[in-house]
Every structure is written in C-alpha cells, then in structure tokens.
C-alpha cells in the first residue's frame, strides 16, 4: 500500500488488464501509432479512435504532460486515459517535469471521473527514448506523491519486458517500499 492505494507491478500486456482504466502512451495528435498506442487501438477497436477524433476536432489534440479520456471500446477496461509523455531530448528540456505531469494528469483525470483503478505502461521509454531507470524514478516519485495526497483503490504498472519490470520495482524499493509488503 502507498498510503491508502494498492500498488501492483507486473510483467504483461496492458491491453488485457481489468482495471477500470488503462493509460495509453499517446502522441499529442492522438493519432495512434506503434508500441503500446497501436496495441491499445487494435485491441479496443475503432470506438477509441472515434473519440480521439472528436477530441482533436474540439481542442487540437493533447499537449505533452496532459491527459484526455475516451471509452475503452472492446477492452476489459471501461476507459482509456491517453497521456502524452515527453520525447527525450537529452534531459535538460523539462523532460522529468513533463513525465511527472503525464502521470499526475492521468491520475487527476481518473479521480475527476470517479475511476478507482488505473494501469500504466512505461510512458516515454519506448519510441520516445526516455532512459528507463530515470523514467522509473521520476514516475514512481510522481505517483507516490499524488497517491499520498489523493488515494485511489489500485494503481498497477504493466511492464512489457523483464528489464522494464525490474527497473520499476527497483525504483519503488529505492523509495523504501518492499515487494510483498507495500507493493505487490
Ligand atoms: P512512448 O512513445 O511513450 O515511448 P511506446 O509505446 O513506444 O511509448 O513505449 C512505451 C512502453 O510500452 C515500452 O516499454 C514498450 O515496450 C511498452 N509496450 C508496448 N506494447 C505494450 C503492451 N501491449 N503492454 C504494455 N506495454 C507495452
């Protein structure tokens, strides 16, 4: 537990999760793409892109560090939270703050919609090139800070590879949490 929130780390596919929402590592045009974005649109079907199109028509997309909500379509998850992480540009272009903001905006949007459980992928560490260990440390700190103020029922990280899983587990351990005790 992190405050009142259950935190779970697992290696797997985010499109299969039964949390109320899953988070997509989207691009700012909400245009779909490869990686986790492509996987979510494929698994959830066209209803997700139809709502992304509406959001794009209304507000032009989603700025880096912010988040928008759509249906989950055919996914088990009722909603998809699309957030836009920063593209890595060497580390001195506000990347850490923008990544923290992507996580916190996603959680804030979840709370605003009464969503109680959320699954995250490793935002920005694929095509966007953010170094894994640094991203994990930033992500964990941002989410921990948020949850200690505003709890949800469950936050889950769904890491595609063993290496990603180990990085996020280590980042929690470095914050003083223990697997099997505070994080599952
Ligand atoms: P970004 O553009 O934000 O870097 P990517 O989708 O390229 O996003 O990568 C983010 C992470 O998501 C990578 O670690 C990638 O391996 C992972 N990933 C890709 N597909 C899935 C999936 N189905 N479930 C969970 N993680 C995934």
pLDDT single digits (tens) 45-78 = 999 999 999 999 999 999 999 999 999 999 999 9
Q: What pTM value is reported for the model?
A: 0.97
Number of domain units in the chain = 1
Ligand 1 touching residue 32 (CB < 6 A):
no
The CATH number linked to 76 is 3.40.220.10
| 118 Cα–ligand 1 center, Å | 16
Angstrom distances, CA of residue 41 to CA of 21, 23, 35, 49, 176: 14, 12, 10, 7, 36
Tell me the C-alpha distance between 68 and 80, whole Å. Answer: 8
- 181 within some domain: no
Ligand 1 atom closest to the Cα of residue 37 is 6
pLDDT attached to residue 179: 84
- 179 within some domain: no
Provide the domain limits for residue 84.
Answer: 6-174
Q: What is the mean pLDDT of the chain?
A: 97
Ligand 1 touching residue 174 (CB < 6 A):
no
Q: Catalytic residue, from 13, 37, 92, 164: name it.
A: 37
- 69 within some domain: yes
- 1 within some domain: no
């Amino acid at each position: 537990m992190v405050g009142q929130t259950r935190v779970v780390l697992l290696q797997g596919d985010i499109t299969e999760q039964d949390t109320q929402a899953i988070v997509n590592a989207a691009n700012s045009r909400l245009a779909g793409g490869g990686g986790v974005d492509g996987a979510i649109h494929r698994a959830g079907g066209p209803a997700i892109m139809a709502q992304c199109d509406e959001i794009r028509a209304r507000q032009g997309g989603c700025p880096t560090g912010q988040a928008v909500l759509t249906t989950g379509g055919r996914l088990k998850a009722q909603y998809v939270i699309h957030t836009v992480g920063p593209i890595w540009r060497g580390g001195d272009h506000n990347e850490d703050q923008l990544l923290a903001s992507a996580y916190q905006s996603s959680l804030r949007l979840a709370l605003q919609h009464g969503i109680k459980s959320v699954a995250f992928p490793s935002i920005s560490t694929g095509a966007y090139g953010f170094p894994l260990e640094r991203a994990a440390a930033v992500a964990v700190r941002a989410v921990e800070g948020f949850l200690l103020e505003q709890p949800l029922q469950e936050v889950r990280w769904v890491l595609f590879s063993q290496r990603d899983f180990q990085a996020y587990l280590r980042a929690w351990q470095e914050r003083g949490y223990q697997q099997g005790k505070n994080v599952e």
